[in-house]
Structure 1
Amino acid sequence: MSTPSPRASRRQTPTGSASRWPQMRKLAALLALVASPAAATGLEIDVAGQSNGTIRIDLLEDVAPGHVEQITALAREGAYDGVVFHRVIDGFMAQTGDVEFGREGGDVSMAGMGGSERDDLDAEFSDIPFERGTVGMARSQDPNSANSQFFIMFAPGDFLNGQYTVVGQVTEGLDVLDAIKRGEGPNGAVVGAPDVMSEVRVTE
C-alpha cells in the first residue's frame, strides 16, 4: 500500500473568506476528534499448545499507525484466531500471523509465505530498539512488504534496529511467550503441532 503523495491544488481561496478558513479547519479537526472512535491500545493473545496463557501487548499507534491499523483490523475480523507460531528460534523470536497458510489443522508447510488479502504496508521504521518482548512486523527483503505476520522477541536483537517496523511491546505474559514450542534448525521451523493463537482480541 503506497503512501498518498501530496498534490498541488490550483483551486483558489474564495474571495473574502480567507480569514475564516483557519478557524473552520480547527473546528472541523475538533469535531473529527470528538466523532472518532477510541484508538486501539493493545492486543490480548490467548496461546494454546505447549504454552498456555495470555500475552498482552501495548501497541504503538504513534510510531507505526499504518501497521497498527492493519493488525487490529485483522484481529477484529478474527483473522488471527487459530493461526500458529510457525517459526520459533530459541533465544531470538517467535513468529506468527500468516493468516493465509498458517491455520491450525491445515497444511502449515507453507506457513510464513503468505499474508492477508489486505495490501502490503510501507515501512514505518523508528529508533525504538528491539528488546525482550518487542513486537515487530515480519517482511521479505522488500522493506515495504509487511502485511499480517509479526514476531515477538525472546531477547534483544540490536541488528534488527531500524530495519523492521516496531508495533508494540509485551506488558504481561512473558512467561507464556517463553514457553512457546521451539522450532528446529537455523530457520526455526516448528515440527509437529505448533502452538497456536487460539484467540486474539483488541483492547481499547
Structure 2
Amino acid sequence: MADIKDPENTIIITLKGGDVIIELLPDVAPKHSERMKELARAGAYDGVIFHRVIEGFMAQTGDVEHGRSGPDLNMGRVGQGGSDLPDLPAEFSKLPHDRGTLGAARSQDPNSANSQFFINFSDNNFLNGQYTVYGRVISGMEHVDAITRGEPPADPDTMMQVRVASDA
C-alpha cells in the first residue's frame, strides 16, 4: 500500500486486480475533491463500471445513475448520467493531464461535471485547461493499465468498492 500522507483526502478504488490509491487535490479543486469523497462515503461508486476505456488515452467511470454492473445494466444509457447532486463548476488549474491524473468528465458545458471521472493512461496535455484535474494515482497504476478497453467494453471492469482512506 502507498504511503498515505492525508487519509481524509485519499481515495481507495478496489478493482479486480487490486487497489488503486488516489491522492485528491483539495487545494486545487476543492468542490470536485469533496464530491468524490461524498459519493464514495455514500457507496455510490461501488459496482460502477468503466464504460469508456480508450487505449493510450484514458479510462472513464463514475456514472452512478446508469453504470452499475449486473443484469439490469443498460449499456445504451451508461455514460449519460451523473448523481442526484447538482453539477459542479469547473475548477481549472495549471496542473497538466499527465499519466495517472484524475480528471472530471463533463459534457460540452465546462460547468457540467458531476460524478463521472477519468484516469489518464498517458500524458494528455491537449486536455489542459479544459477539464478539472483533482487527483492523481499514487499507487496501483498497473491495475488501471489492466482495465478492459472498449467504448463500451464488451465485458467491462467494475469499481468493486470506493472508499475514503480515513474510513477504511
| Alignment TM-score, normalising by the size of structure 1 | 0.76
User: How many angstroms apart in 2 are the aligned matches of 1:93 and 1:101?
Assistant: 20
Q: Where do residues 43-62 of structure 1 align in structure 2 (5 Å cutoff)?
A: 43-48=11-16, 52-62=17-27
Aligned with 2:42 (options 77, 99, 113) = 77
Letter of the 1:107 counterpart: N
Letter of the aligned partner of 2:148 in structure 1?
K
Q: Residue 109 of structure 1: CA displacement? A: 2.5
Indicate the residue corresponding to 2:3 in structure 1: none
Q: Which residue of 2 aligns with 1:153?
A: 120
Output the CA distance in 1 between the equivalents of 2:90 and 2:146: 30
Q: Which residue of 2 aligns with 1:63?
A: 28
Over aligned residue pairs, what C-alpha RMSD do you find?
A: 1.2
Could you tell me which amino acid in structure 2 is paired with residue 197 of structure 1? M
* Residue in 2 that maps onto 1:162: 129
In structure 2, which of residues 118, 135, 138 is the aligned counterpart of residue 171 of structure 1? Answer: 138
Query: 1:42 Cα shift?
Result: 1.0
Residue 201 (str. 1) matches residue 163 (str. 2):
yes
Q: Which amino acid letter does the alignment assign opposite residue 70 of structure 1?
A: R
1:42 aligned residue (10, 19, 35): 10
Structure-1 separation of matches of 2:130 and 2:39: 23
* Residues matched between the structures, number: 159
Which residue of structure 1 aligns with residue 108 of structure 2?
Answer: 141
CA distance in 1, matches of 2:159, 2:85: 20
| Secondary structure at 1:46 match in 2 | strand
AA aligned to 1:134 is T
Distance 2:152 2:158 in 1: 14
Identity %: 57
Q: Is the 8 A contact 2:45 2:161 kept in 1?
A: yes
Question: What CA distance in whole angstroms lies between the structure 2 residues aligned with 1:153 and 1:178?
Answer: 10
TM-score between both structures, scaled by the size of structure 2: 0.92
Q: In structure 1, what residue type is equivalent to 2:160?
A: S
Q: Secondary structure at the match of 2:153?
A: coil
- Relative contact order higher in (CA < 8 Å, ≥ 6 apart): 2
Looking at structure 1, the residues matched to 23 and 14 of structure 2 have their Cα atoms a distance apart, in angstroms, of 15
Question: 1:200 & 1:189 partners in 2: Cα distance?
Answer: 21
Partner in structure 1 of residue 153 of structure 2: 190
Bigger fraction of residues in strand? 2
- Cα pair distance change 1:198/1:39, threshold 3 Å: closer
Shift of 1:40: 2.5
Query: For residues 27 and 99 of structure 2, what CA distance do their matches in structure 1 show?
Result: 20
